[in-house]
Amino acid sequence: MLSLRPVWTYVLLSILIFVVHAAFVAAQTSAGTTNATTERDGQHDFDFLTGSWKIHLKRRLHPLTGSNTWVEFDGTDVARKIWDGANLDEFETDSPSGHIEGLTLRTYNPETHQWSLYWANRKDGSMSINPQIGEFKDGRGEFYAQDTLNGKLIYVRYAWSNTATNTPHFEQAFSNDGGKTWEVNWITDQTRVPDDSIKPYDPPVNSNAGTQAAGARDGQHDFDPLIGGWKFDLKVRLHPLTGSTTWVEFRGNGACHKVWNGRANLDQIALNGPNGPVEGLTLRLYNPQTRQWSLYWANRKDGKVVVPLVGQFKDGHGEFYAQDMLDGKSIFVRFDWTNMANSPHFEQSFSDDGGKTWEANWISNQTKIDSESARAQ
């Protein structure tokens, strides 16, 4: 399980570590030495996926039971690059068990030279916080995680091969003997196609009928006003929950893109502060059963996705909550979104008394700009 860390911690630490690390590398290079004697820079390993694909899939029914019964089906996949060392692809198919929409967020840690692969399914709008972790060697990528199957501990392996062609190959395999043997249970073969040949999936009207609480509002478009390019003005409180009134300011641009044809979205920001730049993303996923959003934050510095803030909008005000740790103590975290239709306003607050009182430590105001300006960060 990944440890939770507040957003302000990611921002401040990423700036400090980025500056120190850059200075160290520069000093080593000028001295005629380098720390890259054994580690390769893999931040472009998944660039091959950018674009549109037709995919053919095979799935083994009842894995790790001796079963050799497979089902086959076809689908599409569209991948976009987020930054050097991150990408997101949207997967869509009609399988024998029904329609499937999913996505994979891949983030690269430049310090460990490893990738983290996070999978999400639109059915419940949640993303796995325990990612597949690994790297490419000699053209083959292997990524591992621990999971359970039918209540028993297993290991899961993702394997990518043939990535230098227009027909990359993917396999998922399970092991129930500590990795001694592996059984493949999912195979995907991809064929590159023109980008305009993939049409966004539009679910049937009332496709979720009967799955939501009576009288609940459909909030899957609550974040639609964020789609497009933005100028960001932020301030972050140093040393929250200590009585500190010292703030630092950040400026920058960002852009929000539709995911799943608007039923989720991806927000990217690139900011400059007192000590240098920082880049981050927020992936927002909607659960059509609970009608709640899950908001996942990741920073480019280490590529880790934190446990989400979960909540919903009521009367134009969005509140999202999680539990976290600050200086070794348990706290509550709250995200607040208001003024969505005009100049969106965001605040992050902490509480160390069970939600009785809240202290804001991150305040952001957004001003609309065109998408080209946002990309010209």
The residues near 34 (Cβ < 8 Å, ≥ 6 apart) are 25, 28
> Is 237 a residue whose pLDDT tops 60?
yes
pLDDT value at residue 59: 95
Name, of 15-29, 93-107, 211-225, the range with top average pLDDT.
93-107
**348 pLDDT band (50/70/90 cuts)?**
very high
Read off the tokens for 245: 């009134």
**Percent of the chain whose pLDDT exceeds 90:** 71
Read off the tokens for 115: 């990738």
The architecture (CATH level 2) of 47-197 comes to Beta Barrel (2.40)
pLDDT value at residue 374: 65
Whether 47-197 and 7-23+220-375 are alike in CATH topology: the answer is yes
For the chain, give every domain's residue range.
Answer: 7-23+220-375, 47-197
DSSP annotation of 339: -
- Give 117-160 pLDDT, tens digit per residue: 999 998 888 898 789 999 999 999 999 999 999 999 999 999 99
Q: Specify the CATH superfamily of domain 7-23+220-375.
A: Calycin beta-barrel core domain (2.40.128.20)
| Widest pairwise Cα distance in the chain | 68
The residues near 29 (Cβ < 8 Å, ≥ 6 apart) are none
Q: What is the mean pLDDT of residues 152-176?
A: 97
